[in-house]
Structure 1
Amino acid sequence: MAQILIADDHAVVRMAVRMLLENAGHQVVGEADCGVDVIGLVRNLKPQLIILDIDLPKLDGFAVLQRLCDAEDAPKVLVFSGMAADQYAVRCSRAGASGFVSKDDDLDGLLTAVKIILAGYTLFPTIQLSQSTSSVPTHSSVEQDAIKHLSSREITVLRHLARGQRVRDIAKTLLLSEKTISTYKSRLITKLQVSNLAELIEIAKRNSII
């Protein structure tokens, strides 16, 4: 059985996951409700596996993944997220995670994923994308392609903007300056070829970036 760290900003989720893991014989060595605490706990507790929510305050899950993967003897990471798998699973894989499980799935699926990852395998959902018979790019496909080329940090900022958060609040959550967040906002408007924040939010909603 493994030593596992749970990182989620919802206490009820952490409790449910803890009970699931302990009933299966695993040891939960710690819990974190923000990204900054994850880094410190990993350094001190050295868990074998982290069950990580992407939508964490202070340091989001992508930033946590980057820092962990840069370290020696990094633990395996299983992302357990309510975010849309078709937008986030591939990004998590590229960032260094070993698996992605949706919070919309049955909790037994999380336990199965833990077993698979501890056995040395990876587990990501297979996203079925409909193929257009036309060779002419549609508005939707152009939009999706632009989103695909956004960085993980840009996606994170877009998600917060789509939730109606102000620049100062996003800066505080992500531990960045307001100027930096404003720069990301301007960059998103340019990359997604929109003219204002309202259109930016509509794109995020259409593509399940919430």
Structure 2
Amino acid sequence: MDKSKTVFFEPKIRVKMLEELVFPSIFRSSWEKEDKIRALYRHKLRVATCIASIEDADDREDLSTVLDALYAHYLDLIEVSPAEEEEGERAVKEEFQRIERAVHAETPAQMVSEAEVSPAVKWIRARIGMLSAQVAKNVYLDHPFTEEELEHFKKELNRVERKLASEPDSQVKAELSEEIEVLREHLVCF
């Protein structure tokens, strides 16, 4: 990975990005208080995981202290009670655990079929995953698609389906077709 890409993964840079960009954006957003708490905590957990990978104990402790202070500062700005903070953090931890369980549940099946599928099918699988994530995000945030977004989403889904149709028949193709149908069913709700 080139130098410009690795810089964004350095813990010091990530804490600085939280301080200057991410946390202020969340604070100024028009989101509900509980959504702000969850977003702040999600970012804190991700950066804390990155900080935990630092080998130097002093640097690790210093950055953890800065991160905790930054998080506490924004919770104070939002005027969060300890009960609200605890509820938001618990919800995020449960969300992370669900995601982790889902990833571990899907990994063995994917490992078996990865060697057998073409790069085009891998791309299709990844694209369907991205589209599924977009639908899940909109459902989770209770944010309906605009007409323009919905039209773009349908076009993208049709494009992926056409690309899948050109692939030879296989179990993976059947599974991906089912996933596309599930996405279409979700679109009916919007």
Larger radius of gyration: 2
Counting helix residues as a fraction of each chain, which structure ranks higher?
Answer: 2
Report which structure shows greater RCO (CA 8 Å, sep ≥6).
2
Counting strand residues as a fraction of each chain, which structure ranks higher?
Answer: 1
